Structure formats: C-alpha cells, structure tokens
Structure 1
Amino acid sequence: MFLIRPSNIVIFIENGEIVNMFWVFFGLLFIWIILLIDFLQGIRRIPKLEHTVPSQASELISVIIAAKDEETSIHETLQTLANQKDVRCEIIAVNDRSSDRTGEIIDEAAALHSSTRAVHIDHLPEGWLGKNHALKKGAELAAGAYLVFTDADIQFEEQTLVKAITAMKAEELDHLTAAPDLKARSFALRGLISYFLFGFGYLKRPWTANQEKRRGGMGIGAFQMMTKSCYQKTGTHEAVRFRPDDDLALGQKIKAAGFRQKLVTAKQLLSVEWYPDFKSALKGFEKNAFAGLNYSIPLSLFALFGVLISQVFPFIFVFIGSPSVQIISAINILLLFCLYGLTTRSFTNYPWWMIFGLPIFALLFVFMLARALILTWIRGGIEWRGNRYSIKELKQFFRNSEEDHR
C-alpha cells in the first residue's frame, strides 16, 4: 500500500520501508548541481555556425535528401538549397515510395535546376528503415568529396553551406552536425520541444562531440556534413540501417572511430517545423521513444518514475510538505529552472518564461512516453511511414550495433 502523509512527508511502502522525501530531494540537489556544472562547462564548447566568416569553396558538396510523402515542404527545401551562395553543390533528392506529389515536385525541381537530381525508389529491402535506405542510395550517386545529409522539411539560409564547409576546412573536421531552429505553432509544442532538449542535454551530453575523447558523439538529422571517406569508413548508412535514431547512431559511430567531429548551433541558418500539431508529435514520438531508451523496459520505467519524482514531485511538495521539505523542494525547483532555462536559451529561440511550464511539460512527456511504450508493446513493434518494424528485430539490431560500437 502506498500512502503519503503530508504532515511530515513520509511515504509508507508496502514492504514496511520508510522513505523521507526530504532525503530524496536532498539527494536530487547534488544531481542537479552536477548536471548544471556539466552543462555550463559543456555548452561553452558548442560554437554558433553564424559566427563563421565564410570563404568561397571550390569543392563539390553533395546534399542528399530522403523524402516520403513530403509534398507540403519538399519544394521549399529544394528551393533554399538551390539558392546557396559561394559553393558548388549537387542536390540528390530521393523520393522514397511516396504516395502524394513528392515525386512530381522533385522532378519539377530537377527540370528547373541543373544542380538537382531526382531519384525514385519503389522498393524497400528487408532489414532496412526507409529513410536510411534512401539516404544510402542517394550517397551512392554522390560525386562530391563532402556529403550533407538533411531532411525534406529543412529551410536553409543562403550562406549555410558555405559557412559549414568553411568551418570544416578551417578546423580539419571529418564531421560537422548542426542544431537548427525548431519552430512550432503552439505553446504546447514549443514546451515539448524545449523539454525534450532539456532531457536530451543531460542524458546524451551533446557537447561530447567537441571533445577529443572517443566517447559520446552527436548527430542531428537536420544537418550532417561529412567527408565521403569518413562516411565510407564508418560503414555508411548500412551500419545504422535498422536504427530509428540513425542520425545520432551515425554520429556516435563516427566519434568512436576516431574522426574529428564538431557540433554547432545554427539557429539563424537552419530552421524546421518540428511537427504541425500535437497529434503528429504523438505519432513521431512512437518511433523514437523506445529507441532513445535502448529498447529497455526497465530503463523506460526508470525514466517514467524518475521524471515524476525529480521534476514533478518538487512542485507538489513545495506546497504540502513540512517546512524543511518545502525549502528543499524550492531549491530543487530553482536548480531545475536554471538548467531548463539555459538549455532553452542555448538551443531554441523561445522566450525565457517558458521555464514556468516545466511541470506541465514533464507530465506531457510522461503521458507520451507511457503511450508510446504501451502501443509498441501491443503492436509488437513500431509503425512509421506506412511500414511496421518488429521490436524483436529492432532490439537485435541495436544489440549487434552496440557490440560493434564497442
């Protein structure tokens, strides 16, 4: 039996053990302090691509895009790429079995711009996710010494590629990945984005991409520029063919292989609408939630209860606890706001006052994660872009990939 007695905030658990919430929150204080220090040290290592002074590049850059049912966004993406200045680039747009006008739009762009090449795929081989297969097929046709993998809904400012190639050459990088401006139409969606970035920051520590050690690493699907030799030596998308988190997995493999990698922000140079509405966000989360937790049920349950205890309970006990518990809860909340606010300011263009929605966004996250896990369990896998992928196959590929990574 689970009972909370607000007078002294003692929780009675069925086996008779007693846990005082003061000590729970006291322990959390040290965790948030360590994470805050780690963030402050790490974020200084992530430069802004906007600050790069561009120099004209003669090298050919091959931009590869995978598009499936992207008729509402692909035209603008291709147009912003065709408008890039001071670089030589070819655009390889891969239509991956689309059922809408995506293929027609790509063909029209190819007819209008000589730099754009249309590729059409009508079959997905077994053991592949569609996007990963399409990107690999596009890369096989690339003539450039530098490759850029991006999504079909990204908008590029006209100097994005020249600044990226300038940074690559100046620092002798093998891999450059950039965080875009994530746009959202509603307060709830902006809150979810900022909350995901908050959790992603302290779990994945993205600044490890900019450290010399081989541990960690980062890859962001909106923009990954790499040398062709780096891509080939890392195993191409073949190495992540069954990973829903292919961008992160590829970035981590590049880092583990000893290549020079860098993460930058590019909020003024790249932008994307995260999801058009909350329903779409729920659908997208079904694909990534379990993958982000290594397909582990214990880890997923730990994440659910961990978020509730560390990021929701302090907002409750600050009102109903004893004076000592209220004080320690308030300090926890202050540290949470600091870390959440710094993450939001560093990776988004959202207003600072969104930090006050933290407990609401945390509860939304718990709901979305629980929903995704239940649906994945009921279906026996994930459904994405018209295809179903078995959880057994996904887990096995993940284990094999991790063994290769080590």
Structure 2
Amino acid sequence: MTIFIYAVLIFLVIRFSVTVFNFLSNPKLPRTVKHYHDKVSILIPARNEAENILLLLESIRHQDYKNYEVIVLDDNSTDETYNLVENFANKNQNFKAVKGKVLPTGWLGKNYACHQLAELATGKYLFFLDADESIQRGLINSLIERMEVGQLALLSVFTNQVMKTLGEILTVPLMHFILLNLLPLRLVKFSANPAFAAASGQCMFFNAKNYHENQWHQQVKKQIVEDVEIIKLVKQSNYTAEALLGNQLIHCRMYKNLAECLSGFSKNLLAGFGNNILILLIYQLLVIVGPIILLFYFNFDLLALPITLIILSRMMISYLSGQNVLINLILHPLQMLFFLIISLISIKKHILKQGTWKGRTIKAI
C-alpha cells in the first residue's frame, strides 16, 4: 500500500508540473490585427445537424474575413440539414451545400466526409469545422498569421466549450482537464516526438498544398480519434504542426444533456488511450481511486499537499480553458465520478463492439 501511495503522490506532482507549465506558457491562439487575403475553404461535415448548422453559418457570414468559400457536405442526414443549408446558400453566394456519397466500406463517416470536402475545396487553406460551433471575428486572420509565422502544415485549436445544463457541466470540463493535466501543449510544436500529439477535430486548419499531397483523412480513414492520428502523421512526416487553445475566438456546444455527453465521450475516450484498457484503468487508479485512498490513509496534515495541488491544478486549467473556476472546484469530485463512469462505458462498448454515433456503428482498429 505504501508503494501505491507514493506512486499516486508522484503522479500527482508530475501532473501538477505539467499544468504549471501549460499555465505559464499560456498556449492560446494569439489574436492578430493583421488582415490577410488568401482564399480559405471552410469545410463543414454535417450529419443530422438541423438544430445547430444555421448558428455556425451565421457566425461565418458575420466574421471579418472576405476571401473565403464555405462548403457544407450533408452526410446522408435524415433531418432538414441539407434543405436548411441549401436555402442559406441561395441567399449567400460564398456558401454551398453538397450531398455526400454513400459511405464506402473501410471508412468512418466523418473521415470520409472530410475527404470529400477537401476534394471540392479551392482555397490556399483548408479549414475544417464541426457543425455545432460558432466563430468570432478575427479567428481566420489569427489562424493564418500563426500558420505563416510558424510555417505550419496543420494548426488545430481546442474550442471554448459552451455548457448550459448540469450534465454538460459535470462532463465537458473533463476534456480540458485531461489535456492540460497530462500534455505540455507547447511541445506539440517544439518536440518532434509524435508522442507529444494533441489535436481537436472541431478546428483543423491545413495548408491546402500539403494536405492534397498527403491526403491526411484518407490515411486515417478507419481511425476514431482521427484528429490526433493526423497530427501524429504530420509530425512523423517531418512537417510542423501546432495545437493551441481557442482564446474565446471559437466556441462549441458539443452536447445538450447528460445522456448525449455520456454517449459522445464514451465513444472515443478509450481510443484516446490507444484502445488500451490497462492503461486507462491504471490512469483511473492513479487519478481517481488513489486520491480517495489518500483520504483514509493520511491524516489531515499530510493531505494538505495533494489537496492543494488538486485545487491549484483545477484553478489553472479552468482559467486557461475559459471555464468557471469556482464551479469546477465545487464539482470536482462529481466530475471525477463521471469520468470513471464514462471510462467504464467506453470499455464496455469496446469489448462488446457496441460503439455507435448518429446511427452508424463505430469499430475501433
């Protein structure tokens, strides 16, 4: 037991050190006052997004960039997604609605939709967005500035998350918690090691020439966590890539209730750990079970250090991700409980091959 306690404490110190590094390095997308004029292809895969898609299209229409095209690919929706986009496009010449092809064997839906979109694009940059997002003025210029300064093949941005229900508040902050507690985000760019890889499929900004030469989505056509796999491939191919936080320039409401959160996050959590059940369980043991054991194993004086580190970590991560610090501190125990629940659901889906999303079966490889 003593060895396990020391392991928990050491892992906690390591995670705290990573969080401090992220906090001090402040890995947010810098805003720019410069204006660029290169053509940007904004590419949006959409499957049953009638509730969300117009909010995104309106936010694009009102942003401050001029030279762009928007292509929305309707991925065999069963709702009014295509009709809504087509009507919007008829009134706004920069927008276009297209119908996606039938999903071929060997592809996952989103990956194939993005591959089709890239084939239709004509811009210098390819800007992939999810349909449940909204963008702010200044985002596109800031993305291009970062691409040009860093000579990047890919820039991915973790969006600021919009949360309106208790179910969302109990689960969505876990995404930034895991990211900023485990990975020094600046090393995605400055280390050539593919192990330092993170990306968000909600915002992927590519150099179009580089993308077409490498066909990134085709290379990961079967991957559930395609965003991380793409940025690994980019780095392995000796190109430069970067991942940053959204800095309030792009927002997303991923899910609308607890059931959607549990289903959505469990879909790809285990895949984010390389589909290695043992690694995920060890992580849960150190992050969740370990601190609970500490509560019973130590006296209050000895608990001061781990409690302080956990509180400071949550404060820094909440600040960096633009979330409510006080709410995350108060709800931390419940958020950890739901993290454990999501992990167990993800493992169950993986073992029983029950993964589905928007009516399609998802099989990990």
Once the two structures are superposed, residues 9-30 of structure 1 have per-residue CA deviations (whole angstroms, 9 ceiling, x without a partner) of: xxxxxxxxxx24xx53333323
Once the two structures are superposed, residues 9-56 of structure 1 have per-residue CA deviations (whole angstroms, 9 ceiling, x without a partner) of: xxxxxxxxxx24xx533333232223222332244444433x422322
Opposite residue 260 of structure 2, the aligned amino acid is: S
Matched, 1:293 2:300: no
Find the aligned partners of 1:169 and 1:80 in 2 and give their Cα distance.
24
Once the two structures are superposed, residues 185-212 of structure 1 have per-residue CA deviations (whole angstroms, 9 ceiling, x without a partner) of: 1344223222332123334443322314
Please list every run of at least 4 consecutive aligned residues from structure 1 whose deviation after the TM superposition is greater than 4 angstroms: none
Q: Which structure's CA Rg is the greater one?
A: 1
Matched, 1:385 2:358: yes
Q: How does 1:2-401 map to 2 (within 5 A)?
A: 19-20=1-2, 23-49=3-29, 51-215=30-194, 216-314=196-294, 316-317=295-296, 321=297, 323=299, 326-378=300-352, 380-390=353-363, 394-395=364-365
Contact 1:63 1:148 in 2 (8 A): yes
Find the aligned partners of 1:257 and 1:166 in 2 and give their Cα distance.
23
- Give 1:160 deviation, angstroms: 1.3
SS in structure 2 at match of 1:66: strand
Contact 2:170 2:338 in 1 (8 A): no
Find the aligned partners of 2:257 and 2:58 in 1 and give their Cα distance.
25
Opposite residue 323 of structure 2, the aligned amino acid is: N
Contact 2:152 2:240 in 1 (8 A): yes
The equivalent of 1:402 in structure 2 is none
Once the two structures are superposed, residues 278-337 of structure 1 have per-residue CA deviations (whole angstroms, 9 ceiling, x without a partner) of: 0100111231122112122322332343333234333x42xxx453xx433332121122
Greater length-normalized contact order (CA 8 Å, ≥ 6 residues apart): 2
Find the aligned partners of 1:196 and 1:224 in 2 and give their Cα distance.
17
SS in structure 1 at match of 2:121: coil
- Give 1:224 deviation, angstroms: 1.2
Once the two structures are superposed, residues 365-398 of structure 1 have per-residue CA deviations (whole angstroms, 9 ceiling, x without a partner) of: 11121123223323x24111111133xxx22xxx
Unmatched 5+ stretches in structure 2:
none
- Distance 1:353-1:282 versus aligned 2 partners, 3 A rule: closer
Contact 1:177 1:220 in 2 (8 A): yes
Find the aligned partners of 1:214 and 1:260 in 2 and give their Cα distance.
11
